Chains A and B, each alone.
Chain A
Amino acid sequence: MAQSKFDPRLVRRAQDGDGLAREVLLRRLAQVFKNYFRAKVGNQAIVDDLMQCALIRVHSGLSALKHPDRFKAFAMKAALFELHDYYRGRHSPKEQTYDTQILSEKAEAASDRFESTLDIERVLSVLTPHVRRILELREYGYKYKEIANILGTTETAVKMQVKRAFEKMRNVFAEE
């Protein structure tokens, strides 16, 4: 009978400290991760980073996997966690540049009074659900092109929606 490359017996051996079994298992899994992240992200350097992080996640969590026959789901979750951590990290503070901090300080200095009184919910209420969806997807970490794919539209259309939203909000900012 044909056997899976990720046969539970191989997983069990890897868990039990068989160095070669672990090496074989992770090498096979690396190919899955590589194909997956390449399809999702494209950029080779990022693909390599994600692949390494996902492999480390599997490597460090393998001994705690109670059911070797669930290795596929275990690996899948490792990939999803890494992919979505990566999406989130695109816009996280650690990704912001020093320039952005300086810009923020200058903006704060120029609009100190305004900042403390801005009613965010009121500003957001002027947006349509569609635009809010776009903004939320963008803050989740997706790029305009990816949002366009998710929503079945074009990147240009998405960007135009965001620009219009900005103009609407700008008017509200002016009233604040």
Chain B
Amino acid sequence: MHDSGMEQFDKIDAILHEGGLTLEERQSFMEALESDPDLARSYAGWQQICAHLRSRLPDTHLFVLYSLVTGGHAGELSEEESDEIRANWGVVDRVVESHPGFAEAAVQIEQDRQDFLECWDQVDRPLRKLPSWSYRIAAVIAILAVCFVAVLTLRDSDTALQTIAAASGEYERVELPDGSVAHLNGPATIRFDERDFVRSVTFNGQAFFDIIHQSDPFTVQTDEAFIHVLGTRFGVRSQQGATHVVLESGQVEVASNAQGLPTVMLEPGQMTKVTDGAPPGPSSQVELENALSWTGFIFLRQTPLSRAATLLSESRNVRVEVDPSLVNETVTGTFAPDAEIEEILNALALALGTVVHTEGGVFRIAP
């Protein structure tokens, strides 16, 4: 074979299979086809041969199933797949028998299968056995359940999925793996992947979320909505077919569980409501103290001290009094349900430059 023949083959082969010809080379080859009938004939013939072989190829799906069966793995086929390959066995088998290259490809699928299983084993290193403290927690939970103290912490040993539930009237502070905190105000249930946490939780019930800022967004998924945030504080109430989202600070995007619907961006002090399959309602301005009362938090925003005292008295079941000279003072602050009354009052006193007296179980804020 002389050089020109080899060069011609390289061009034909490159065009049909391997690529890599420059625009100029293609142009040159087109001109050669027009001026050289022998080359055109070779190209057309080679093209037909290739097309003929491709036309003999069995369907990919059937061919893979066939190869698994011939490799001794018929048990890895579903019932439907078994029926499918049984019905088409003769067709595929005849093609493979008469085409040694396709038979080789079938053998290669067996190798591909083994390679996949190796990759699987590399990833599927079993989850570690739970440490003993987890079982102790489980035991404590059982006791608490019997005593009608309904804060439950259950761990999914099979998946590293963490499920934490707070029963009605109970508060549970949940620290998430990224440092964010979910304050559950029961009834509420939160679930997340403890081991491979990707800043995503599923949630139902009532909670206030305090999300630390990271470049990756954080997502709270309820039955009705997706709430996407970067770093912010907001309340979520997902009950009876509706999700309410109230934003205290930062910014959140609220989306429906149905795809393709418009989303709503909330600014601090705004809320929206999402029902199943519907777009989020328009944002509306709210008073945080009332709109987030179900979180169990106390939100004070330029709140008169007398009102703050009333709220604290009711929420902590204590008596808080305010000196008459201070009743018109206003205070601002956010206090979690687990904040102690002394801690809250001292914070307020510090901000006002006042003092707190305690006498006979009564707290009194005085100048």
Within 8 A of B (CB), among A56-88: 65-66, 70, 72-77, 79-81, 83-85, 88
Query: Which one of A3, A107, A151 lies within 8 Å of B33 (CB-CB)?
Result: A107
B residues 11-53 near A (Cβ < 8 Å) are 12-13, 15-18, 26, 29-30, 33-34, 37-38, 40-50, 52-53
Using A139-B101, A150-B104 as known contacts, list a sample of 18 further A-B pairs with CB atoms less than 8 Å apart, ordered by residue number in A: A1-B129, A5-B125, A6-B124, A19-B221, A20-B201, A23-B198, A28-B123, A28-B124, A77-B68, A106-B30, A107-B33, A110-B41, A124-B52, A132-B99, A132-B101, A135-B53, A143-B18, A163-B13
Residue of A nearest to B44 (CB): A107
Given A5-B123, A99-B26, CB of A115 within 8 Å of CB of B158: no
Given contacts A80-B113, A103-B30, A124-B49, contact A9 B40 (CB under 8 A): no
Q: Are B112 and A32 in contact (CB under 8 A)?
A: no
For residue B228, CB closer than 8 A to chain A, the reply is no
Query: Are A81 and B61 neighbours in the complex by a CB distance under 8 Å?
Result: yes
Find out whether the CB atom of B64 lies under 8 angstroms from the CB atom of A77. Answer: yes
User: Is the C-beta of A123 less than 8 angstroms from some C-beta in chain B?
Assistant: yes
Main secondary structure of the interface of B (DSSP, over half): helix
Number of B residues near A (Cβ < 8 Å) is 81
Contact between A107 and B127, CB atoms less than 8 A apart: no
Partner-A contacts on B (CB < 8 A): 1, 5-6, 9, 12-13, 15-18, 26, 29-30, 33-34, 37-38, 40-50, 52-54, 57, 60-61, 63-65, 68, 73, 76-79, 81, 99-102, 104-105, 108-109, 112-113, 115-117, 119-120, 122-129, 157-161, 191-193, 196, 198, 200-202, 221
Alpha-carbon gap, A83 to B177, bound state (A):
36
Contact among A21, A132, A144 with B161 in the assembled complex (CB-CB below 8 Å): A21
Are A3 and B76 within 8 A (Cβ)? no
A16 at interface by CB-CB < 8 Å: no
